[in-house]
Amino acid sequence: MNTEVLADQVVSDDTPIANKEIHDVIGAEYAPGFVTDVESDALPPGLNEDVVRAISAKKDEPEWMTEWRLKAFRIWQKMESPDWAKVSFPPIDFQNISYYSAPKTMKDKPKSLDEVDPKLLETYKKLGIPLHEQERLAGVAVDAVFDSVSVATTFKGKLADAGVIFCPISEAIRDHPDLVKQYLGSVVSLSDNFFSALNSAVFSDGSFVFIPKGVRCPMELSTYFRINASNTGQFERTLIIAEDSSHVSYLEGCTAPMRDENQLHAAVVELVALDDAEIKYSTVQNWYPGDENGKGGIYNFVTKRGECRGNNSKISWTQVETGSAITWKYPSCVLTGDNSIGEFYSVAVTNNFQQADTGSKMIHIGKNTSSTIISKGISAGKSQSSYRGLVKMMKHAENARNFTQCDSLLIGDKCGAHTFPYIEVRQPSSTVEHEASTSKIGEDQLFYLQQRGISAEDAVSLIVNGFCKEVFKELPMEFAVEAQALLGISLEGSVG
């Protein structure tokens, strides 16, 4: 890659706070850390062509899909795990992971919620995602994914009336093969990167969304990913297609039990927006982050990319990342269509020993394309947080514009924040603006707020929420509230 590093801003151990010891004490309570006791039908650990075939068979996939997976697997075998991110972890033994696990009760493919194991429904209820008709969140359709299968998808009928397809991707492969064939892998190719190639070979479930021409999706769509089984990786695959002049807002949430071992989550999400279409994709990521000593937690290695394929289209990513032991994730926009718009709004929180290397890529291809990146990194404890972003102005991207702002907030003096912006310009009429700042929650600020009667912990929340508000305002209302609460929990114990 012909990239140029413009700035590498590092703030680390060398700024002690006078008079106040701010340190990590009690680990925050991770409420979704429970395990659901269900018998599962799992493949034994290990990865080879037979495993890929077995996954495909479990999903009753057509031959072309099996071949697609095998092709990806062969590509993956020749690739190396990337080492450029500012994260460190022992090498992953890919032969020691199980690539498929589903509750046994899902084997008979329940036709309705009444046939779904109550234990599974109870799990989602506990997580605040009721699936039963009468308790559902009004206006939000949910696809609930449990390990490698989708347990239920709500409001399917109502959505179908509007012409919207919202179903597990495994179902789409069987029922809408032409759409899947046309779009799957069209944004993130099989050989894109190590983890996306792995995902393409072994992906299990995820959601498929198709919004036909001219339709404004009548409700928010969401997928809730739950890892439950131990020793199992989750390889979600999501594909969202918005045809001409359509509009959709999609949300993703995720949690996992607390376990001592690290678990791999390697997802691929592809978005396609055609002429005048708009896709808004929001994520509240709360995978188990590991304990206060850095034991356990999810490795979250994710490829998310959207293509504004049509003119005047728009894709907007909003993410609130509080979980995972390691996050490696760069939701990106390829702005192919003229006048298309890409946006990335991110809050990434790391505490204790969490590591996050996250950011965005904006690839400007069409004329008058514009993009905005607002990244807010918050580091506490002994965590490390990096922003890594690429803005690329291609040869024909006349009058393209990008604005990037990345701000880091440090809590305590043992954490680090880093910024790695890469800018590549091949079209002289384009403009790229980059702003960065690093600040620290000062003892004086905390004392001032405490003197006003606000507890130290609430004071941190107040400052952190203020720091993130530009991003929170991009989230749908209910989720903004959830995200704020989550932030408070993630930073619990970060001041003492």
Phi-psi region of 353 (alpha: psi -120 to 50; beta: other; left: phi over 0): alpha
* Shortest Å distance, C-beta 426 to another protein: 37
Q: How far is the CB of 453 from another protein (least distance, A)?
A: 4
The distance of closest approach from Cβ of residue 58 to another protein in the complex, given in angstroms and rounded to an integer, is: 49
Q: Which helix (H) or strand (E) holds 326?
A: strand 326-329
Contact with another protein (CB under 8 A) among 442, 476, 482, 489: 442
Q: Select the span of 136-144, 245-253, 355-363, 457-465 touching another protein (CB under 8 A).
A: 457-465
Class of residue 203 by CB neighbours under 10 A (exposed 0-12, middle 13-18, buried 19+)? buried
Stretch that binds another protein, among 120-128, 150-158, 353-361, 464-472 (CB under 8 A): 464-472
The answer to whether the CB of 345 falls within 8 A of the CB of 474 is yes
The candidate with the shortest Cα–Cα distance to 124, out of 267, 300, 255, is 255
Binding flags for another protein, 394-433, as an x/- string (CB under 8 A)? ----------------------------------------
Q: Does 79 bind another protein (CB under 8 A)?
A: no
| H-run or E-run covering 486 | helix 477-490
Is 467 a binding residue for another protein by CB under 8 A? The answer is yes
Closest separation in Å from C-beta 411 to another protein: 14
One residue of 8, 450, 473, 481 binding another protein per CB under 8 A: 450
Q: Quick one: 53 exposed, middle or buried, by C-beta within 10 A (0-12, 13-18, 19+)?
A: middle
**Closest CB to another protein among residues 128, 466:** 466
C-alpha pair distances (Å), 408 with each of 10, 347, 471, 490: 10, 10, 13, 16
For 215-285, where are the E strands, in sequence order?
A: 220-226, 237-242, 247-255, 262-265, 268-273, 278-285
Shortest Å, Cβ 437 to another protein: 10
Contacts of 403 (CB under 8 A, 6+ apart): 371, 372, 373, 433
Residue (112 or 451) nearer to another protein, CB? 451
User: Which is nearer to another protein, 54 or 454 (by Cβ)?
Assistant: 454
Q: Is 463 in the site for another protein (CB under 8 A)?
A: yes
Stretch that binds another protein, among 3-11, 66-74, 320-328, 460-468 (CB under 8 A): 460-468
Question: What CA–CA distance (Å, rounded) separates 97 from 46?
Answer: 6
CB of residue 299 vs another protein: minimum separation in angstroms? 31
Instruction: Indicate the residue among 20 and 295 with the shorter CB distance to another protein.
Output: 20
Return the SS3 of 165: strand
Q: Which of the residues 354 through 393 are near another protein (CB under 8 A)?
A: none
- Rounded to a whole number of angstroms, the minimum distance from the CB of residue 93 to another protein is 43
456 contacts another protein (rule: CB under 8 A): yes
Is residue 443 near another protein by the rule CB under 8 A? yes
Type of residue at 282? S
- What are 64's two structure tokens? 């072309």
* Backbone φ and ψ of 344, nearest 5°: -140, 120
Q: Is 208 one of the binding residues for another protein (CB under 8 A)?
A: no
Least distance between another protein and beta carbon 443 (Å): 7
Residue 162 interacting with another protein (CB under 8 A): no
**Alpha carbon 87 to its chain's center:** 17
Q: Taking each helix axis as running N to C, give the angle between helix 49-58 and helix 194-202, from 0 to 180 degrees, rounded to the nearest 10.
A: 50
CB of 27 to another protein, least distance (A): 22
Helix or strand (DSSP H, E) at 182:
helix 177-183
Amino acid making up residue 10? V
Q: Is 487 in the site for another protein (CB under 8 A)?
A: no
Strands 297-308 and 326-329, sheet pairing: parallel
What lies within 8 Å, CB to CB, of 262 at 6+ separation is 89, 290, 296, 297, 298, 299, 325
In the bound complex, what is the minimum distance in angstroms from residue 458's beta carbon to another protein?
7
Residue of 3, 448, 473, 485 that binds another protein (CB under 8 A): 448
> DSSP per residue over 58-127, as a string?
HTT--HHHHHHHHHHHHHHHT------SS---PPP-GGGSBS-EEEGGGTT--SSGGGS-HHHHHHHHHT
Q: Is 469 in the site for another protein (CB under 8 A)?
A: yes
**Can residue 449 be called a binding residue for another protein (CB under 8 A)?**
yes
Q: Give the residue carrying structure tokens 């299990």.
A: 204
Q: Which two tokens stand for residue 63?
A: 């031959």
Q: Which is nearer to another protein, 12 or 465 (CB)?
A: 465
Q: Is residue 447 a contact point for another protein (CB under 8 A)?
A: yes
Only one of the segments 326-334, 350-358, 394-402, 455-463 lies at the binding site for another protein (rule: CB under 8 A); that segment is 455-463
Give the binding-site size for another protein (rule: CB under 8 A).
Answer: 26
Q: Does 436 bind another protein (CB under 8 A)?
A: no
Encoded one letter per residue, x for contact with another protein by CB under 8 A and - for no contact, window 11-50 reads -------xxxx-----------------------------
User: Does residue number 478 form part of the binding site for another protein (CB under 8 A)?
Assistant: no
Report whether 389 contacts 406 (CB < 8 A). yes
Nearest distance, CB of residue 216 and another protein, angstroms: 32
Residues that bind another protein (CB under 8 A): 18-21, 439, 442-445, 447-456, 458, 462-463, 465-467, 469
